[in-house]
Each structure stands twice: as C-alpha cells, then as structure tokens.
A and B are shown apart, each in its own frame.
Chain A
Amino acid sequence: MKTTYLFILLFTGLATGNVAAETSTINELLNLYKQQGAATPNAQAGQRLWHKTFTGTVPFTERSCTSCHGDDLKRVGKHVKTNKIIKPMAPSVNPGRLSKTSKVEKWFKRNCKWTLDRECTATEKANILVYLKQL
C-alpha cells in the first residue's frame, strides 16, 4: 500500500515536472522576446502569420509555414522539397515540441529566413509561440 502511494507520488511528480519544464521553456522564450522589444503576445496574430503566404523564388514561389507543416498542426507535415515526414507541431499530440529553447530559436531562424526571406521579429516569434502552445 505504502509503495503504491510512493509510486503515485513519484509519477505525479514526474508528470508535473515535465509540464513545468515545457511551460518554463515557453516563458523563458517569451521573456527573451519581451526583452528584445516584443509587444504583448497575440495568438490570433500568430495564427494569421502562420497561415500567411509569402512570395519566394522558383520552384517554391508561394511559401508559408504550412508548406511543410501542413494545415492541421495536430497531424504530421511533409517537407516540401525532400518529402520527409515532419512530426506534428501541436504540443498536445507531440509533447516534445516547444520544450527546448535552443531548438525553438534554431528553427525560427532557419524557417523564417526560408519562408519570409528574413528573420522574424521578436513580436512575430512571441505571437507564433503563444498560438502554437495552446494547440
């Protein structure tokens, strides 16, 4: 009986630990963007930017986050050039998402440069982050 309680305690401890880690990563990033001058994050603005189409060079003249991540973020996407499967973006189905600061920053840099042909601003990144985290 005692061990059962211990296990329950241990598992709840681990579970909340994980959630806390993810939330802390997001908070850490939001703080960073705030320091960089980001406005108050807005999930709707994030959603609009995520689905916005930008003009690019041939062969991908129309570019958007959805080009690779697909329209339903709870499902897998497919790299537009290599066809490699990309795991879902929504943290509700893929808990590993948004859980590592350096990873989020790396992909923002790479993917904003490809999609928008420039780096994203701190406001844009904060907006996308709050849009994605609720999915």
Chain B
Amino acid sequence: MRSILIVIGTLLVLAAVAMPLVWSDEDREAWLEYGRVSTGVALLSSPVYKEECGSCHMAYPPGLLPTATWQKIMSGLENHFGDNAELDNETQTKITEFLVSNSANQSNYRRSRRFAAVDDKSEASMRISETPYFIHEHDEIPSRLVTGNREVTSFSNCNACHRKAEQASFRERDILIPGHGKWDD
C-alpha cells in the first residue's frame, strides 16, 4: 500500500515539474491570461486619463462600466456629478476612445463581464455604485461603514476600502475598511 502511494506521489511531483516543459508557449500564455482574467478587471492606464480625471478622483478602471455609460458620462462633462470637468475637444476625444475601447463590454475579465451585463442602456445609471453588479456585491455592507464613515464617506471612494483598487484589484483579501478592519463575506 505504502509503495503504491510513493509511486503515485513521485508521479505527481514529476508531472508538476514537467508541466511547464510539456506545455506549449500558447498554453502557458492562456494560463497566465486566465490568471489575470480571474482577478476582476483589467489594469490599464493612460497618462491623459490619469492626469485629467485622476486629479479629482480615483481614475476608475474603464472595465467597471459598459460602453454606453462611458459615452454618456463623457458627453456631459459640464455637469459631472455636480462638478465642472470640461475638457478641450482633442483631450475629450482621446479619453473617450480610451474608455470606450477598454470598457466592460470589451473585456474578458471576470468582473467586467458582470458590469457589462446591463441590457437596458437607456436606464443605465452613470454611477458605478448604482449598477446591478455593484449593488449585488455591496448590499450586505452596513451604511455606517461607508456613508457614515468619515474616512470613506461614499461608495465612489473605492480605494478607501479596496486598498488595491488603483491596481485594479478588488479581491476580498485586499479589503480593509477604515475603523472596522477586514471584510468577511
């Protein structure tokens, strides 16, 4: 019995060692890609996006909203959630292109697929925090930890609790709610 276990064990170890050698580069790329895809949304940066949008708020990863919503937001910058965020035409076009070409609809990342699943475009909210998937993910969090929390104040401050939000990681283990601690679902 014992010798059978040893044989099986040795085979498993050999298989693990040999896998990268047997695998083609394509397999390996697919595996790496899957590893990233499973983490949530794509980490993408654009200097102009970071400069223009990121000076007032976190530069939200484009994979958090569907194409139609980004277009709606970018066409009404004079009244941007109560603030004026006007841009010159060239910059506006550049940023819109960046957001639209990397929107949730264009992404294979796990969470982006969920954010893209909004069919009723006319009813789509312009706020990430009002999308069905966002609400689904946050509906168990008591408001005292967010709106009632001086260090958070709003669901729009992703990085107040999602400490790696700016690296596009929204994993549960990276959550640290100020004054509360880790979040356990």
Quick one: which of B58, B84, B153 contacts A111, CB cutoff 8 A?
B84
A82 at the interface (CB under 8 A from B): yes
Q: How far in angstroms is the closest Cβ of chain A from B43?
A: 20
Quick one: which of A81, A83, A106, A109 contacts B83, CB cutoff 8 A?
A81
The reply to whether B88 and A106 contact each other, CB–CB distance below 8 Å, is yes
Quick one: which of B84, B86, B88, B157 contacts A82, CB cutoff 8 A?
B157
Contacts of A86 in B (CB 8 A): 55
Contacts of A60 in B (CB 8 A): 82
The reply to whether B56 and A79 contact each other, CB–CB distance below 8 Å, is yes
Map CB proximity to A onto B67-95 as digits: 1 under 8 Å, 0 otherwise.
Answer: 00000000000100111111110000000
Q: Name 10 extra pairs, CB < 8 A, besides A57-B82, A86-B55.
A: A79-B56, A79-B57, A81-B82, A82-B56, A82-B154, A82-B156, A84-B57, A102-B88, A110-B83, A110-B86
Contacts of B81 in A (CB 8 A): 81
Interchain Cβ contacts under 8 Å between A and B, 11 examples: A81-B83, A82-B156, A84-B55, A84-B56, A86-B55, A109-B84, A109-B86, A110-B83, A110-B84, A110-B85, A114-B83
Q: How far in angstroms is the closest Cβ of chain B from A95?
A: 17
Q: How far in angstroms is the closest Cβ of chain A from B94?
A: 14
For the complex, what is the distance from the CA of A57 to the CA of B79, rounded to whole Å? 12
Number of interface residues of A (CB under 8 A): 16
Interface of chain B, helix or strand or loop or mixed? loop
Quick one: which of B82, B84, B157 contacts A83, CB cutoff 8 A?
B157
Contacts of B154 in A (CB 8 A): 82
Q: How far in angstroms is the closest Cβ of chain A from B145?
A: 16
Which of chain A's residues 95-121 have a Cβ closer than 8 Å to chain B?
A: 102, 106, 109-111, 113-114
For the complex, what is the distance from the CA of A60 to the CA of B83, rounded to whole Å? 10
Contacts of B156 in A (CB 8 A): 82
Centre residue among B58, B83, B86, B153 by max chain A CB count within 10 A: B83
For the complex, what is the distance from the CA of A78 to the CA of B88, rounded to whole Å? 25
Q: How far in angstroms is the closest Cβ of chain A from B90?
A: 11
For the complex, what is the distance from the CA of A121 to the CA of B144, rounded to whole Å? 44
Contacts of A79 in B (CB 8 A): 56-57
